[in-house]
Amino acid sequence: MALSEEQKTIIKTASDKTFPFVERCEVQTLEVERGYCKMLMPLKPNLNHVGIMYAGALYTIAELPGGTIYLTSFDTKRFYPIVKDMSIRFRRPATTDVTVEVTLSEEEISRIESTTEETGKCDFEWDVEIKDANGEVVAITHNVYQLRKIGS
Amino acid sequence: MALSEEQKTIIKTASDKTFPFVERCEVQTLEVERGYCKMLMPLKPNLNHVGIMYAGALYTIAELPGGTIYLTSFDTKRFYPIVKDMSIRFRRPATTDVTVEVTLSEEEISRIESTTEETGKCDFEWDVEIKDANGEVVAITHNVYQLRKIGS
């Protein structure tokens, strides 16, 4: 079930403007499809005191796809997501804007949704590579989220 | 070697205003001593779309003591720190301002500084409990930093 162009625009805007912390970082949701997003964290507003991207901004751009993928994939009237655990390993300084891409398969979307429907909740997880403008991996994360049924 | 009141004021200000990302979150460095800091992340500027503190703000307040403890403990003309790895486990929603406290012993300060002096670098690590205003632990992190010798 592909997203319409209108749905994509709504999700991009919702992702970029979801709350002030994200707006302040000037996050950009570049592309969305069902089960997919590509998001960007700009360098300039997120520089630290030594002229590289702050660790907290790198963490943030790796965490945010959890909410965006949720919007592309799940019934937002019946389910909501939480973040449970995350680990981040820093490999090299980020000296450009950075991007992340996350994909969730149809099989995984079905598994998560049906398990949540049956039991009230379901964990899901993925790895994220944070890449700089040259395609170099600056950090790697492992993210664990949980989908929950509203009202259960 | 205790810090003077003047040194404490300088470190607190440097920590709170270190770069725009931190200023935008309105982080407050409440107390510093040699090998110790207590820092606060306010709820209001860091609320997410469901009215709890955003995960990225929780991550940030657990990461920042790395720099602040460095300022209280090490010779900033000879050494600088980097963050290598961090994991964060979320236990419950944060619905108040949150605080963290980190302590680094004199023995550990000596070990890190002498190893860095000899080999050019030295890892150090600690756990952080992020607590809400009622003293409840909302998240737990494990942080790995590395001290490096300038110019090596």
3-state secondary structure of A95: coil
Instruction: Collect all residues of chain A within an 8 Å Cβ-Cβ radius of residue B19.
Output: 47-49, 54
CB A144 within 8 A of CB A86: yes
Average pLDDT value over all residues in chain A: 97
CA dihedral angle for residue B134, residue B137, residue B139, residue B142, rounded to 10 degrees: 130
| Terminal CA-CA length for chain A | 27
| pTM exceeds 0.90 for this model | yes
Q: Contact A56/B45, CB-based, under 8 Å?
A: no
Which of chain A's residues have a Cβ under 8 Å away from the Cβ of B82? 90
Residue B87: its chain A contacts at CB < 8 A? 85-88
Residue A152, pLDDT score: 75
With a cut of 80, say whether residue B28 has pLDDT above it.
yes
The tokens describing B21, both together, are: 């990302």
Rounded Cα distance, B47 and B57, in Å: 9
pLDDT at A102 over 90: yes
Query: What's the distance, CA A99 to chain centroid?
Result: 11
CA-based nearest distance B3→chain A, Å: 23
Structure tokens at A43: 């360098």
Question: Quick check: A48 and B81 in contact, CB under 8 A?
Answer: no
According to CATH, the topology of domain B5-149 is Thiol Ester Dehydrase; Chain A (3.10.129)
The pLDDT confidence band at residue B142, using thresholds 50, 70 and 90, is: very high
Residue A49 to residue B18, Cβ atoms within 8 A: yes
pLDDT the model gives residue A16: 95
Q: What's the farthest any 2 CA atoms get from each other in chain B?
A: 50
> What is the per-residue pLDDT for B1?
73
Look at residues A105, A101, A100, A99 and name the one whose alpha carbon lies nearest to residue A73: A105
Q: Which of A16, A46, A86, A142 to mutate to test the interface with B (most CBs of B within 10 A)?
A: A86
